[in-house]
Homo-oligomer: A and B are copies of this chain.
Amino acid sequence: MIAKTPLPPYYAVIFSNLRTAVEEGYSEMATLMVELAEQQEGFLGIESVREDLGITVSYWQDLDSIRNWKMHVDHQVAQQKGRTDWYKAYKTRIAKVERDYGFEK
């Protein structure tokens, strides 16, 4: 569940969001978008959690792979539906991971 990413540098897209009450189509699309993202070149991993606030962090090899995913035609449809139906607010942050460290029992 914690993404197994390679050594830095790589990129993170931090997508923080608040949902509307509209459920129709959302969970199917969310599942589909994760499956599709995983197939994209440069995809490194994804972590996603929701309470009221949702945070999805996807990890990517470089800015080009992020740009290609943003522009993917099916993802564009999902983004559009996100703005009209599913999200009350969101913020997307593109960040270069410079360092990481971890711990596992």
Copies in the complex: 2
A interface residues, how many (CB within 8 angstroms): 42
- Is A49 part of the contact surface with B, judged by Cβ < 8 Å? yes
* A87-B103, A95-B96 known; A50 vs B47 contact (CB < 8 Å): no
Interface string of A1-19 (1 = CB under 8 A from B): 1110100100110101110
A57–B1 touching, CB < 8 Å: no
Shortest beta-carbon distance, A48 to chain B, in Å? 8
Shortest beta-carbon distance, A94 to chain B, in Å? 4
Residues of A with Cβ closer than 8 Å to B?
1-3, 5, 8, 11-12, 14, 16-18, 20, 47-55, 57, 83, 87-105
